[in-house]
Amino acid sequence: MAAAHRKKGSTPTSRFHIGRKGPALKFLGSFIGLMLLFYLLYYSSFYQILLSGPIESAQAAISGALLRALGFQAAVTGDAISGGGFSVQIAKGCDGIEPLAMFLCAILAFPIVWRLKWPGLIAGTLVLGLLNIVRITGLFLAGLYIPSAFEFLHLHGGFVLFTVMAILVWMTWANWAIKRLRSPSQNAT
């Protein structure tokens, strides 16, 4: 009976052996690294002073315009929307930036050519931005018409649903990108 000889440290159970899991571990490591960079920016004074306020005010202005287009009385002051005896303020953590960052970091970390990343970065940002405006508008309407449900929807439903949407948009992009990469017509270009 022949004995199999392996170099020390090359066994499949070795903690240094990556094998077929290499791309997945590389993706995960890149994703975590990018998310850490995002959070360094997100909690920096630069973000707090220069970016947070304008982003939240823009979201309030667009959501207020949508509400008015739908026939509701909605006044916007900075990052707050009010009307009908109810008001909502868009604050950090409720601005949808974290799920958007998760989506963008997942695309950037995904091991695929850049020409397939750009459409996902642009289209996904637009889709998630639109979905966030719909979420903010829906929360305002929930607060106006179903005040007892507002807190649950705000704290759990809105954030969790938006995060799930970000994951679904990423999965849709990844599926599209992999199909494009494997398409014979794409490989010829």
CA distances from 13 to 10, 20, 112 (A): 8, 13, 28
pLDDT digits (tens, 9 = 90+) for 55-84: 999 999 999 999 999 999 999 999 999 999
Residue 46 predicted with pLDDT over 80: yes
Strand partners, 77: 80
Model confidence, pTM? 0.81
φ, ψ at 79 (rounded to 5°)? -100, 15
For position 184, what pLDDT does the model report?
A: 65
- The alpha-carbon radius of gyration of the chain (Å, integer) is 22
Residue 3 predicted with pLDDT over 80: no
Both tokens of residue 159?
A: 């954030």
Type of residue found at 88: V
For position 1, what pLDDT does the model report?
A: 47
Mean pLDDT of 118-138: 95
Residue 10 predicted with pLDDT over 60: no
CB 91 within 8 A of CB 78: no
Average pLDDT, the chain: 87
φ, ψ at 173 (rounded to 5°)? -60, -45
CA distances from 52 to 78, 115, 135, 151 (A): 12, 30, 18, 23
Q: 159-182 vs 97-109: helix axis angle to the nearest 10?
A: 20
Name the percent of the chain lying above pLDDT 90: 71
